[in-house]
A = this chain, B = another copy of it.
Amino acid sequence: MLSFKHLLESFEKEFQIEIQNIQTTAPVNLYEPIAYSLEVGGKRIRPVLLLHAASLFTKYPETFFPAAAAIELFHNFTLLHDDIMDHADIRRGVPAVYVKYGANSAILSGDAMSIMSFRLLSQCEPAKLPSILTLFSITAIEVCEGQQYDMEFEEKDQVTIAEYLEMIRLKTAALIACSLKTGALLAGADDENCRLLYEFGLLIGIAFQLQDDWLDVYGNECTFGKKIGGDICENKKTCLLISAMEMCNERDRSSLLEWMGKSDFDEKEKIEAIRTIYTESGASAATKTLMKHYHDQAIDKLDQLTIADADKTELRKFASQLLSRVK
């Protein structure tokens, strides 16, 4: 079993070489935006999870770097295209690709990135390729479906918690689950362990997104790394807003609707007012409870893995850090 820290360092080293290669490939105007979007960073959670899952069943997870890079490329492709669709100007503190290079470049470079992830996958051990490609392509489509629901929710008057959870399962959790299962498949794990790692990933991925939504309201701007209250300003139907609408009293519901109907408002004032409703209605606590529920279910899957208990330490730590994370 290899630590996240170790795997992150060795993956990042290889990945930087890959980024340099991409940057200098012709046509430069196609590949430079790809390199730009990749070198801006990110936590590299998905490739590290893939390599860590592999390390539970083999001593040499490094041979799976291409697959790990494939998943990181695909994830960044989705961010690149999502930013166009969501008109999100800033990504990780720098201008989004479509802002820096224009929408056409962002569309085409994103397309190439998505395809490049499949080209990287083609380097997998031939015998493993059918199951890897099937899992990856199904997951990739789920991510698109999740983004579709996310966009649709913006136009809908009402979204239920169940609908919201299904959306984040598709948009966020599926790729995390896929990362873990891909690592396990590549390392030759048995079906049951592959299945359990997938389910662990799905549950922890949902908890991860709920925490992300919560931090968007209650986080610290400096440690979280993005503007706090963004979801509130945009009336994004997160678990917090949906819960608050269900749980709050009539006066607060009117207040929520009034704030959401305003097109001209003081951002700080709106964020403060809605945050207070989230807290007082119990929506914040309900979101935390739901997060804990998914975390605990994830740990239950981890417990069922038929590997040495000591080998579960890193994933246990990952799951618990997730609940207390500030960024």
Contacts and interface: CB of A to CB of B under 8 A. Distances in A.
B81 A111 contact: yes
A147 B109 CA distance: 11
Given A27-B148, A108-B148, A115 B130 contact: no
B137 A118 contact: yes
Interface string A133-159: 110011011001101110110000000
A122 B121 CA distance: 12
A141 B119 contact: yes
**A interface SS class:** helix
A76 interface: no
Contacts of A115: 114, 137, 140-141, 144
A104 B141 contact: no
A116 interface: yes
A85 interface: yes
A84 interface: yes
A122 B30 CA distance: 27
Contacts of A149: 27
Contacts of A248: none
Contacts of A84: 104, 107
A29 interface: yes
A112 interface: yes
A166 to B, nearest CB: 11
Interface residues of A, number: 36
A198 B299 CA distance: 52
Contacts of A147: 108
Contacts of A134: 119, 122
A119 B144 contact: no
Nearest to A144: B112
Contacts of A111: 81, 110-111, 114, 144
A41 interface: no
Contact of A130 (B30, B112, B126): B126
Contact of A122 (B127, B137, B145): B137
A29 B138 CA distance: 18
A114 to B, nearest CB: 6
A323 B119 CA distance: 35
A129 B119 contact: no
Interface in A61-119: 81, 84-85, 104, 107-108, 110-112, 114-116, 118-119
Nearest to A84: B107
Nearest to A116: B141
B145 A30 contact: yes
A170 to B, nearest CB: 9
- Give 6 nearest A-B pairs by CB, closest first: A119-B137, A30-B148, A112-B144, A122-B133, A115-B140, A126-B130
Given A27-B145, A129-B133, 19 more contacts: A27-B148, A27-B152, A29-B148, A29-B152, A30-B145, A81-B108, A84-B107, A85-B107, A107-B107, A112-B141, A112-B145, A114-B114, A114-B115, A115-B137, A119-B138, A121-B133, A122-B134, A126-B127, A126-B130
